[in-house]
Chain A
Amino acid sequence: MRKLKKTFTYIVLSVVSVISVFPLYWMISASTNNSTDILGGKLLPGTNLLINLQKLLEQQDVARAFGNSMCYSLTLSLISLIVCSIAGYGFEIYHDKAKDALMTILLLAMMVPFAATLIPLFKMFTTAKLQNTLLAYMLPTISTPFLIMLFRQSARSFPTEIIEAARIDGVGELRIFATMFVPTMKSTYAAAMTVVFMNAWNSYLWPKVIMMSDDSQTMPMLVANLSVGYSIDYGVLMLGVLICSLPTGILFLILQKSFANGIVGSVKG
């Protein structure tokens, strides 16, 4: 009976794993084949990778889009982590009635769907003539209630004795945050970084609206452009999709341990 249960577990997990990985494997293998082989159902990697790459680079300015996406996403993630973590810390460590009330109000922002703020934001940014700028890409999503809450939750587990002791030693408040809180909360920062970077890299609706010039095109937009048209070269398309997925994939594989730990911290509270 026990043995049967074990076997069952392994079979289910294996099947689900294969289903999860197959489309990704297919994407990678397709990026090394030509369109005819792909449509013929070829599953094994081929030798067409360099030709696909050459065609992709001829059709689209991949370097520019990749560079843009990288620059926007990294800047957004870093600023977002700093702004939200210091806010979460501020809400918890210096909490009083007024600050708790403000936090409750901020949480309501979680219910605001992006579609509802899309048009006013679009009008705001076009009036300020900020289309196609890094600022327009970032500003709407730098500060999110989710991140503030994540850091507020982790500040709760930060021992107040440390803060008191540092204050007696005459350490400034900002330095306590930067030199004591930040280093101890590495896993929370890693989890937050994973989430924020993925969201920033993947964001599509807002850039589609506000980053209209070719010069500010991002990777998801480039890939979406590749997929429309009458004669799609699937090898080239899948290579584009692969390149677009690499940064988030690599980031996740590096940070996955801390990601899981950071999420544990946030759910526990």
Chain B
Amino acid sequence: MSLLNKKLTVNQKQSLTGWIFLLPASILIFAMNFYPMLQAFILSFKKGIANNLEWGGISNYLRLLEDDVFWTSFWNNIFYLIIQVPIMLILAILLACLLNQKDLKFKALFRTAIFLPCCTALVSYSIIFKTLFSFDGYVNTILLELGLIDARINWLGQTETAKIIIIIALIWRWTGYNMVFFLSGLQNIDESLYEAATIDGAGPVRSFFSITIPLLRPTILLTTIMSINGTLQLFDESVNLTNGGPANSTLTMSHYIYKVSFEYSSQFGYAAALSYVIFIMVAVLSLIQMKVGDKR
């Protein structure tokens, strides 16, 4: 009996140790993610400025529906999402496949070069692109010299081109990062599968679609969720590359929330309501992704 008792306590002791190990991290996530999330939910039903808040019911959500600036920022985010994420991920997969060829020379050199953009701070690369594409910047200078344009283009001062520059910048910064995930995914695919496919007469295109893509599914899922998440939360680029302009045409939702909370008049309740829109979008899109990605 005493032996059983002791055995039990050993097991319990181990389980307890496990709890102690995982507790600090778990408490932090609850305190720094879930609790503020709940606070934001309550806050979103309050109106007023700074800390003088009173109950406002759903007035913030009603206001949001009629806030043109918010909807502009909303559609900007959607635009970035629809254009940038697919181009970037397809590019990343193709580059990973090219880099994964067995007898390729300078592999490490190419990989490092393509990954290098990820080392720059978000603020830094935003400023590099802002400078390159500024009115008197390098891109205009070189295009003029090559005779491709007659006059300098105000890249960041026009609605359409400003959006495109943000997308180009995002693709430049993040393609290499995603490529690393695909590269490691590719290394887990058994080489013999391709050999078998070649023997069966499948060309490289066919192999790509019936072997590579299906087997990369978990990686595609992971990178898609990360990219959607990142794109919906864009902030640094909007602030530092274009400052949301011209006329809010590149403003993102996070940037707008920041402005409502800290640049205008600290309307925390309204900002909280806006932030819930991002949360719901991220949650819904991730859940759809997981549902789709889980089918095998």
Query: Do A and B come from the same complex?
Result: yes
B127 with A90: CB separation less than 8 A: no
CB distance from A117 to the nearest CB of B (A): 4
Cβ of A258 under 8 Å from chain B: no
A117-B119 CB under 8 A given contacts A87-B22, A96-B15, A111-B286 = no
Whether B236 lies near A16 (C-beta < 8 A) is: no
- Verify A202–B123 contact, CB threshold 8 A: yes
- Considering the complex, which residues of chain A in the window 153-193 have a beta carbon less than 8 Å from any beta carbon of chain B? 173-174, 177
Contacts of B79 in A (CB 8 A): none
B119 touches which of A110, A198, A263, A268 (Cβ 8 Å): A198
B121→A220 contact, CB < 8 A:
yes
Q: In the complex, A124→B176 CA distance in Å? A: 37
Q: Which residues of A contact B235 (CB under 8 A)?
A: 115, 204-205
Tell me which of A9, A26, A114, A227 contacts B132 (CB under 8 A).
A26
Q: Whose C-beta in chain A lies nearest to the C-beta of B24?
A: A83
User: B268 near A41 (CB under 8 angstroms)?
Assistant: no
Contact A267 B37 (CB under 8 A): no
Flag whether B271 is at the interface (Cβ < 8 A): yes
In the docked arrangement, what's the CA distance between A177 and B14, Å? 13
Contact A21 B113 (CB under 8 A): yes
Q: Does A224 contact B (CB under 8 A)?
A: yes
Interface size on B, as a range, is 35 or more
Name 10 interchain pairs, CB-CB below 8 A, sorted by A: A21-B113, A21-B116, A109-B29, A113-B233, A117-B40, A119-B268, A120-B272, A202-B122, A204-B239, A267-B188
- Complex CA gap A219/B120 in Å reads 12
**In the complex, residue of chain A having the shortest beta-carbon distance to the beta carbon of B241:** A227
Please tell me if B209 contacts chain A, counting CB pairs below 8 Å.
no
Q: How far is the CB of A231 from chain B (nearest CB, A)?
A: 12
CB neighbours (8 Å) of A123 from chain B are 39, 51, 268
User: 3 tightest A-B contacts by CB?
Assistant: A94-B18, A90-B21, A87-B25
Find out whether the CB atom of B121 lies under 8 angstroms from the CB atom of A201.
yes
Q: Are A224 and B32 in contact (CB under 8 A)?
A: no
Tell whether A116 pairs with B275 under 8 Å between CB atoms, given A16-B114, A24-B120, A91-B22: yes
Note all chain A residues with C-beta closer than 8 A to B28. 83, 139, 142-143
Tell me which residues across on chain A come within 8 A of B22, comparing CB atoms: 86-87, 90-91, 99, 102, 148
Task: Give chain B's interface residues, CB within 8 Å of chain A.
Answer: 14-15, 17-26, 28-29, 32-37, 39-40, 43, 51, 95, 98-99, 101, 104, 109-110, 112-125, 127-132, 136-138, 141-142, 145, 172, 176, 180-181, 183-185, 187-188, 218-219, 222, 229, 232-233, 235-236, 239-240, 253-254, 257-258, 261-262, 268, 271-272, 274-276, 278-279, 282-283, 286
A112 to B233, CA, bound (A): 10
Q: State whether A118 touches B172 (Cβ < 8 A).
A: no
A256 contacts the other chain (Cβ, under 8 Å)?
yes
If A113-B278, A220-B123 are given as contacts, then 9 extra A-B residue pairs at C-beta distance below 8 Å, sorted by A number, are A20-B176, A24-B117, A30-B131, A93-B18, A94-B17, A111-B279, A117-B33, A141-B32, A205-B254
Q: Which residues of B contact A124 (CB under 8 A)?
A: 36, 39
Report A12 CB to chain B, min CB distance, Å. 6
Asked whether A116 lies within 8 Å of B278 as measured between CB atoms, the reply is yes
In whole angstroms, how far apart are the Cα atoms of A262 and B190 in the complex? 19
Count A-B contacts at CB 8 Å. Answer: 274
When C-beta atoms are compared, the residue in chain A nearest to B131 turns out to be A234
How far apart sit A23 and B116, CA to CA, in the bound complex (Å)?
A: 11
A196 within 8 Å of B by Cβ? no
Query: In the bound complex, do residue B129 and residue A23 qualify as a contact, i.e. CB atoms below 8 Å apart?
Result: yes
By the criterion CB–CB under 8 Å, are A26 and B21 in contact? no
Q: How far is the CB of A173 from chain B (nearest CB, A)?
A: 5
The answer on a CB contact under 8 Å between A252 and B43 is no
Q: Does A40 contact B (CB under 8 A)?
A: yes
Q: Does A137 contact B (CB under 8 A)?
A: no
Contact residues in A for B137 (Cβ distance below 8 Å): 39
In the assembled complex, how far is the CB of residue A138 from the closest CB belonging to chain B, in whole angstroms? 10
Please give, as numbers and ranges, the residues of chain B lying within 8 Å of A50 by CB-CB distance: none
Most chain A CB within a 10 A radius of its CB, from B145, B184, B188: B184
Residues A249 and B120 in contact in the complex (CB < 8 Å), given A94-B15, A119-B271: yes
Is A44 located at the chain interface by the 8 A CB criterion? Answer: no
Given A96-B15, A245-B120, A23 contacting B275 (CB threshold 8 A): no
Cα–Cα distance between A43 and B235 once the two chains are bound (Å): 30
User: Which among A20, A110, A119 is the interface contact of B272 at CB below 8 angstroms?
Assistant: A119
Residues of B within 8 A of A268 (CB): 184, 188
B29 engages A89 (CB within 8 Å): no
List residues 81-138 of chain A with CB under 8 A from any CB of chain B.
83-84, 86-87, 89-91, 93-96, 99, 102, 106, 109-124
CA distance A176 to B144 in the complex (A): 65
Tell me if A264 counts as interface (CB < 8 A to partner B). yes
Name the residue of chain B whose CB is nearest to the CB of A142. Answer: B28
Q: How far is the CB of B186 from chain A (nearest CB, A)?
A: 10
Contacts of B130 in A (CB 8 A): 227
Q: Which of A1-44 touch B at CB < 8 Å?
A: 9, 12-14, 16-21, 23-24, 26-27, 30, 38-41
